[in-house]
Structure 1
């Protein structure tokens, strides 16, 4: 028994629609998989870029601040040389001129080496305003003619390594509430 022509075309049409539907589903599945892989690729690329930037930043910081511990350990040597030179009297200068010159040259060389590595001194002066970012208050005392927060004595210089505080300057601060 033969089907009328209309029914055959209807069956063929339904089969074509079905094939088209299957292909569309497969195509959509492939597109979704492609989008998923593209997203994973973009995330991996961003992670790699972030890791590169982080590595570069870490390298720069290690280069700039890697010697911090050694520098901090050398600061007492600097302080002792400064104290030795401050303790010299005029009489000592005439009797031990060569020794004193050697200490001065050693201090200058140490300062030069520290400077080459980005270490600078913080040298507050009496009368400057106390800055807790750069100074460490060792004591407070009421001193006539000063206002609260003024530096009244400098015990040791402070140091910066590039833009970071290596050691604060140790100072005495006025505790007066009025001038």
Structure 2
């Protein structure tokens, strides 16, 4: 069995065991998650590579948020991305965005929807505004620690008119990470 298949099987087995571990520890869903006034920190990553590892990208995103209610968090997100191109110039870029997310439910698995607004800057990109809609899932593995999966539909703009024009030309950004409430 190749390495990717072994890794996939191990990842799936781990994901299946998380709820079983939580139940064995006597944790109940009402013990999980934030309360009004709590803060949140997340760290996520994403990356790609060619099969020969000649070209690749890597990105890191960090969020700091404050819970305005048990379901609503508002905060700031910083992303940094790096692209390595064989026979080309390597490039760095980043974005800083404010965001608001609304979470559904009070259990260990908490889906959410939200929006973000900010700016993008760096090598190979035009310094401009960026806005987006997002959806995701937080799964609490401990009372204040969770695994995060998020997809953002982002579009660039220079003005209100260009935001309306560019919405249909957006792109999806995906992250997987971990976070905790404090």
The two structures share one fold, judged by TM-score above 0.5: no
With the length of structure 1 as denominator, give the TM-score of the two structures. 0.22
Larger strand proportion of the pair:
2
Higher helix share: 1
**Which structure: larger Rg?**
1
Question: TM-score when scaled to structure 2?
Answer: 0.22
